[in-house]
Structure 1
């Protein structure tokens, strides 16, 4: 039975088209993780809202205060692990298993797609992952993926009074994570009332108790995410571009992302240029990217965790 949130005619036309699709790409944003109740960039309860992004998510911040940065990312890892993959993650993973010409490009670092057993060869992380760690030593190439240990080291254990998963449904901080707090305030995406008046006191940790590289024994490990001022992973970009340019593209699924931040937003136009039709799943009809909706596109408004499995059911069955 079709979801009441999906117009029957749109669902029927999409399902008919999907059955004939071979080469499909999905572009994922924070909206798919919101269905799992995951706090957005600055976290639940305002714990990190009083910090500028440049205090927490740059190479310079890590060099100056690795303990502060690691406490922030340990908190994000902890919260991501408390969340569970939702039906949309499982549906996309099942589609990948059934169709080796389907790839997913995610902007999310939360590890929910890997935990839904999405085939790794068909999953590309544009912004890295909270659960990848790598050595900061110039002479060391050590890295490891999908390390879901919590905490990574005893000193990074999350205090018992850490706020639980309780994100606001109108919290926009995840969508403006690429902007500084002052810019977001000026632009109106975040209100003064959303920000803690005081910074939560955090313990000062010596570098001795932070995660160290097991290979070189000297370098500190860092989170394997793309920080502000860093380039996106060229290997990932090249792999996706190679796939995109190899042949005609049938469909791009744009799920839980405004598609306004480049280069991710550019993949919608690239897919269109390769012949793709576009299907958008988003809570906000006005939030469909710089190119907007065009004739022949589909827009499905609502919770990705409910809508995506319904859209794919004709190909993958129930999840």
Structure 2
């Protein structure tokens, strides 16, 4: 790269300020990795001898709901211990400043909300919730369930994690809102996503087609890099803190 982090952060800050409140963030597993949450595809993505792709499916749940819930309870223990990191906090501050319209996330950990963000579109659900397979009732957990698989407090049916599994469609309302945000964004900050999970990976493409400035923050190149106007190769926390610093600097000039 021909520019250092400070120079790239300054360009990103300019794009955010130029967007006049029409900046949208799109986040993936990379933003939460620094909070200690392992990614599906990283070296820590294995649980016992199982791959996520073998457990996060309706078929796996039908075969062995106890096994699937044991995995989710393990993941929930990690998520409930995790705290928002400086990248989450920087996005929340940009939202408070009126510069960030909303965040679209592929993550299910709820850390954007924990950081104080008000507008969060969850494309893949939330691991802190479960829904009844019989009556549809939703339950929010304050801690991982002690007994698995848990039962619905309303009808006694089997609860399942309120997340999108492989082979399942995205929630229609969340997807439509994400598309509207992508098409209305003047600047899109893409943080820590591999850009290979569809249909979520279409979000940067939609924003680009509508002439948005694309800022990509990732430790490595992704398919999104080809359409990025500004590509920052740094961990999410370091990059977002640098951008926030530059935004504040430019606002006072």
TM-score range, shorter chain: 0.7 to 0.9
Aligned pairs for 1:285-300 (under 5 A) are: 286-289=221-224, 292-293=226-227, 297-300=229-232
Tell me, yes or no, if structure 1 residue 260 matches structure 2 residue 192: no
Which among 204, 208, 222 is matched to residue 272 of structure 1?
Answer: 208
The residue that corresponds to 2:80 in the other structure is 81
TM-superposed CA distance for 1:76, in Å, is 0.5
Q: Flag the structure with higher strand content.
A: 2
User: What is the CA deviation profile of residues 256-289 of structure 1, one whole-angstrom value per residue up to 9, with x for unaligned ones?
Assistant: 11223221221112111222101111101x2242
Please tell me whether Structure 1 or Structure 2 has the larger radius of gyration of its CA atoms. 1
Change (3 A) 1:11 1:46: closer
TM-superposed CA distance for 1:114, in Å, is 1.9
The residue that corresponds to 2:6 in the other structure is 8
Aligned pairs for 1:220-231 (under 5 A) are: 220-231=158-169
Would the aligned equivalents of 2:30 and 2:236 in 1 still touch at CA under 8 Å?
yes
Change (3 A) 1:282 1:52: closer
In 1, the alpha carbon distance for the partners of 2:45 and 2:12 equals 40
Unpaired runs of 5+ residues, structure 2, are none
In 1, the alpha carbon distance for the partners of 2:38 and 2:182 equals 32
Change (3 A) 1:316 1:94: farther
In 1, the alpha carbon distance for the partners of 2:32 and 2:176 equals 26
User: What is the CA deviation profile of residues 84-105 of structure 1, one whole-angstrom value per residue up to 9, with x for unaligned ones?
Assistant: 2101011112222332861111
Aligned residues: 246
The residue that corresponds to 1:103 in the other structure is 102
Would the aligned equivalents of 1:43 and 1:76 in 2 still touch at CA under 8 Å?
no
Tell me, yes or no, if structure 1 residue 128 matches structure 2 residue 125: yes
Provide the aligned C-alpha RMSD in A.
2.4
Tell me, yes or no, if structure 1 residue 48 matches structure 2 residue 47: yes
TM-score, with length taken from structure 2: 0.87
Unpaired runs of 5+ residues, structure 1, are 157-209
TM-superposed CA distance for 1:313, in Å, is 2.9
In 1, the alpha carbon distance for the partners of 2:166 and 2:242 equals 36
In 1, the alpha carbon distance for the partners of 2:232 and 2:43 equals 27
In 2, the alpha carbon distance for the partners of 1:42 and 1:301 equals 19
